[in-house]
Amino acid sequence: MSTAGRADRVRSRMAAAGHEALLVSDLTNVRWITGFTGSNGWVVIDHEGLTLVTDGRYGVQAAQQLAAAGVVGEVLVGATTTDTQAHLAALCGRHDRVGFEAEHVSFAQHARWAAAFDTELSSAGGIVEAERRVKDADEIDAMARACRIADQALAEVAPRLGEGLTEAQVRNLLEVRMRELGATGPSYETIVASGPVNGALPHHRPTDRVITAGDLVIIDVGALVDGYHSDMTRTFVTGEPTAQQQELYEVVLAAQRAGVAAVAAGVSVKQLDGVCRGIITEAGFGDWFTHGTGHGVGLLIHEDPFVNRAGDAILQVGDVVTVEPGVYHGGFGGIRVEDLVVVTSEGCRVLTASPKDSLCPPSPPTI
Amino acid sequence: MSTAGRADRVRSRMAAAGHEALLVSDLTNVRWITGFTGSNGWVVIDHEGLTLVTDGRYGVQAAQQLAAAGVVGEVLVGATTTDTQAHLAALCGRHDRVGFEAEHVSFAQHARWAAAFDTELSSAGGIVEAERRVKDADEIDAMARACRIADQALAEVAPRLGEGLTEAQVRNLLEVRMRELGATGPSYETIVASGPVNGALPHHRPTDRVITAGDLVIIDVGALVDGYHSDMTRTFVTGEPTAQQQELYEVVLAAQRAGVAAVAAGVSVKQLDGVCRGIITEAGFGDWFTHGTGHGVGLLIHEDPFVNRAGDAILQVGDVVTVEPGVYHGGFGGIRVEDLVVVTSEGCRVLTASPKDSLCPPSPPTI
């Protein structure tokens, strides 16, 4: 994936914020600008150029990855933490004042830099994130491919929920199948949360509990493709749903559909959360909807913009967000329906395509 | 796993450092103290009690996990970031001065807390980590189980390296097998780095490159069991090794064996790194050994103590560290041999057991 134009997008935003140079510490931001995927690295970017500083494990890889991403920039390697810090001090020393990512640099790291650098470090927040949030066509394509893989894996595995498998076995089947279909791996540890106890935990980790007749089963599954995540949840009942399960499902599904329909550039995350929450609250289950409506997805599974009551972001074209209302209650279990959508000039495009009309698991796909 | 005694270990170290309360932000530290595995949470610990603050996704789970780990403590849930911050402000407000984890709190987060709290926040570094570094019997047992799973998976998959598989296929086989053997998942993305180009990258990610006759193949594989990681590397040649491959392998293996033999309480990480580096440098390949000798392993795959030239840690009983010298060179490829060892009162115990005498892949295990 070419990242060539991204440095200039960052420079524009730096200029608007009055920064002549920026020290980028967040590894996801580093990757987004340069294509570098190592676990240790910083980028110093100014209006003339860009330098990536890393350690000995990653020198060769960094040069290859910058070239592959079409990024013009120098790579400096330090053998030790002291060496890498010296490189950063020298690079920052070319400027009187350098912005640093105050949300991504620890208090202690800032103190060490402040003591060692001749340059003034000024707090810079969200400069790269503001650009990274807006996905380009290549990024959306990677996420769409990830969604198709998760859709396909779920279509093959969900029909088997009545076979007496454990939550962990369902997770394994999904994750193996996603890899076989071309994913680097799962986008996050697949959630399989079944029955009245486990299902009541929104972020339950799969256990050896056997899925049994009458269980609500939440499956939250995504694939990782070229570093980009997908995210989707479906809820099924093995056997015949009870009246209460069916009633709650219809409430959550109505909320989720209304949420997807409300996604558009210019809508605030508070409004979008309110659309979903309003329907669930109106039905009398507001207390059971214990989390926000969604979040941005990209190189991170959770990133800006977060869609909840407290956020102040406004959706814009290129945002990729989840819409995932849910209800949870000990003794009942849980229901969540989630799609991944990209904000377009016409509203939104839904990237996930698994059926959601019914609580019944799908039939096996015909070959 | 019981974590019941850990809060008191932290309190002792807090007392020694003059802190009457500590605000723990690092999620690994939170998990180590309380057993809580959610993605959002803080612990405020003082000499009277312990409170975990989290959000609505994790309230039920947190109460369950604290109880399961034998931890006596309160759980407070905040619906929004503002709410959770208000909980933290109130808890910290019981004290004039509260230590915060300066290495794990961003510069911006500290600024928000400093503005909102009545309490003075004082920089506290490494208090939990210093205790977390010393593994108890349950932790060592979990890591030993993880090592056995990786050993078994490698024993089954390495014999297949000559079958024309891609790096990614070998990774998939290993990761699926580790899950089947009881791992939660891989400890990190398995590294399969083959041939003269990919093998020269210490942290190469598996590609669709087909492993062919004469390739050096680095396999760096670990399993995750109960949240604890294992870590091991072996290098193989498909077909007959060349004289240069064999020579370099013997150098790296000698360095690695000398390193393992040198592990003991009281040895500095600098000394240990020097043992491995000395042998490789003496043989004329010091420039090809581009990373440190090892690192601690536990709830994180990379944690204290880091074993390299720049570190100042001294090994102590209960440390679990890797010993993993390697050589890398574009056009040649790479060789690394890595074991995971626990420091004991007698020296060390090696937790990984895969054969390393030879560059030849093992024969298939007899059933």
Q: Looking at the structure, tell me whether residues A202 and A175 fall in a common domain.
A: yes
Which residues of chain B make contact with A37, given a CB cutoff of 8 A?
Answer: 205
Residue B203 has pLDDT above 90, yes or no: no
Asked if the Cβ–Cβ distance from A80 to B105 is below 8 Å, we say no
Residue A110 lies in a domain: yes
Domain tally, chain A: 2
Q: Which of B37, B111, B203 sits opposite A57 (nearest CB)?
A: B203
How does pLDDT run across A191-236, given as a tens digit for each residue? Answer: 999 999 999 988 888 999 999 999 999 999 999 999 999 999 999 9
What DSSP character marks residue B71?
A: -
CA of B306 vs chain A CAs: smallest distance (Å): 11
Q: Which of A60, A110, A328 sits opposite B201 (nearest CB)?
A: A60
Judged by a CB distance cut-off of 8 A, whether residue B125 touches chain A is: yes
pLDDT of residue A367: 58
Q: Looking at the structure, tell me whether residues A207 and A260 fall in a common domain.
A: yes
Q: Which of B123, B179, B202 sits opposite A107 (nearest CB)?
A: B123
- Provide the chain B residues 280-339 that lie in CB contact (below 8 A) with chain A: 290-291, 302, 308-310, 328, 330
DSSP per-residue string spanning B140-189: HHHHHHHHHHHHHHHHHHGGGGGG--BHHHHHHHHHHHHHHTT-SEESSP
Backbone angles phi and psi of A53, in degrees to 5: -110, 130
pLDDT of residue A4: 93
How does pLDDT run across A146-168, given as a tens digit for each residue? Answer: 999 999 999 999 999 999 999 99
Judged by a CB distance cut-off of 8 A, whether residue A80 touches chain B is: yes
Judged by a CB distance cut-off of 8 A, whether residue A162 touches chain B is: no
How does pLDDT run across B234-268, given as a tens digit for each residue? Answer: 999 999 999 999 999 999 999 999 999 999 999 99
Q: Looking at the structure, tell me whether residues A118 and A150 fall in a common domain.
A: no
Asked if the Cβ–Cβ distance from B61 to A204 is below 8 Å, we say yes
First to last CA, chain B: 33
Closest Cα partner for A266 from A211, A309, A319? A319
pLDDT of residue A109: 97
Neighbouring residues of A21: CB distance < 8 A, sequence distance ≥ 6: A14, A44, A45, A46, A47, A92, A94, A95, A97, A98, A99
First to last CA, chain A: 33
Residue A65 lies in a domain: yes
Residue B278 lies in a domain: yes
Residue B314, Cβ density class (10 Å: 0-12 exposed, 13-18 middle, ≥19 buried)? middle
How does pLDDT run across B282-326, given as a tens digit for each residue? Answer: 999 999 999 999 999 999 999 999 999 989 999 999 999 999 999
- What stretches in chain A show pLDDT beneath 70? 367
A329: tokens are: 């209650």
Q: Looking at the structure, tell me whether residues A119 and A20 fall in a common domain.
A: yes
What's the average model confidence in pLDDT over B130-155? 97
Q: Which of A60, A108, A179 sits opposite B172 (nearest CB)?
A: A179
Q: Looking at the structure, tell me whether residues A87 and A193 fall in a common domain.
A: no
pLDDT of residue B367: 58
Judged by a CB distance cut-off of 8 A, whether residue A246 touches chain B is: no
Domain that holds residue B108: 6-132
Spatial distance between the Cα atoms of A184 and B281, rounded to a whole number of angstroms: 37
Do residues B343 and B264 lie in contact, with contact meaning Cβ atoms separated by under 8 Å?
Answer: yes
- The position carrying tokens 């279990």 is A333
Asked if the Cβ–Cβ distance from A310 to B204 is below 8 Å, we say no
Q: Looking at the structure, tell me whether residues A198 and A332 fall in a common domain.
A: yes
- The position carrying tokens 């290098």 is B235
B106, B170, B173, B189: which to substitute to probe chain A, counting the most A Cβ within 10 Å?
Answer: B106
Q: Quote the percentage of chain A above a pLDDT of 70.
A: 99
CATH code for position A159: 3.90.230.10
CATH code for position A27: 3.40.350.10
